[in-house]
Amino acid sequence: MRLNPLGRTGVRVSRLCLGTMMLGADGNPDHGEAVRVIHTALDAGVTVIDTADAYSAGESEVIVGKALAGRREDVVLATKVHFPLGPGTGQAGNSRRWITRAIEGSLQRLRTDYIDLYQVHRPDPDTDIDETLGTLSDLIHAGKVRMIGSSTFPAEQIVEAQWVAQQRVRERFRCEQPAYSLLARGVEEAVLPTCQRYGMGVLTWGPLAGGMLTSRYRRDQPIDLGVGRPARYPHRFDPTLPANVHKLDAVEDLLTLANEIGLSLPELAIGFVLTHPAVSSAIIGPRTPEQLNTLLAAAELELDDDVLDRIDAIVPPGTTFNRTDAGSQLPPSLTDPLQRRRNHRRGDQLSHADCRP
């Protein structure tokens, strides 16, 4: 498998990255089969594996640790911190208190002394970015982390983090992990150009849009919102929502295009993501070795300009039909009435669903 530069870090990574969110209780609980998925990916030339402490409450990291026994040095190993791991106070977020605890748990579960790429899973409006960068810098200086990155940060917060790192002499984010797919192209407007400007690598998640680009969900077929991903994220699949109607319409047109050029819809979807010059690697998240094998062929695809022009006609550049497909959380400026109403008394903060990769 061909390798791409991870920004200007000097590290090169395979065009496909194995994401392991679906390995564990939230996807495939069979550890033996999950380990085979990882070994199959490594044997096929995948050099980067992405996980997170929040995936199946740490079980995904445990599986990755088992699979990398004897093969650790062959892999760029990435994990993440931010989402809750338990009900206790302070077991989430981007604070020094939590990060310094979370890294020890990840190292233990992954059976390693260091993380190649330690990523902040989401922004934390309650924590000063300098607090986060200072903590991550200390982890790098202690040898527990080689590089740090962000995940699903808006462009303005990527810029802020780079500025703070420069002004406060902190280690800086070297990689961003945004959602990017044929149905969620919003990052083309500012996030990807910002990453290029700062020489950051880009590992994209969700190239199949949560399964919407697998041909499993079609415009004229019912979608069961009581099982699988539709049950976990109904706002992304509910066919009565206007945003999802637009998505299903686009899927039909994209499927027609894929059939005309002799590709499956997943192949078209992954090939599209790999076309953008900012993208270092596209994260795929199979549950079984069979699913993995159907995705590996897409690593070598090169879509020509005619195909890309037809894609742009179906889904214009920068278009994201449903904001939740991009995994972005509404900022406090929108969810907290006190920040929008001069004389409003503070009440309960409005809730919003998180959409993890």
Which residues are designated catalytic? 55
Residue with the two structure tokens 């990052």: 187
Amino acid code (one letter) for 206? G
Please provide the size of the chain in residues.
357
Contact 185, 147 (CB under 8 A): no
Helix (H, G, I), strand (E, B) or coil at 285: coil
28: β partners: 23
What is d(CA 327, CA 210) in angstroms, rounded to the nearest whole number?
Answer: 11
Token duo for residue 19: 């994401």
Residue with the two structure tokens 């192209």: 185
CA 317 to chain centre: 20
Contact 259, 336 (CB under 8 A): no
What is d(CA 281, CA 78) in angstroms, rounded to the nearest whole number?
Answer: 13
Long-range pairs, 185-191, Cβ under 8 A, ≥24: 185/315, 185/316, 185/317, 185/318, 185/319, 185/320, 186/318, 186/319, 186/320, 186/323, 186/326, 187/326, 188/276, 188/317, 188/318, 189/318, 190/154, 190/155, 191/153, 191/154, 191/155, 191/158
118: β partners: 79, 148
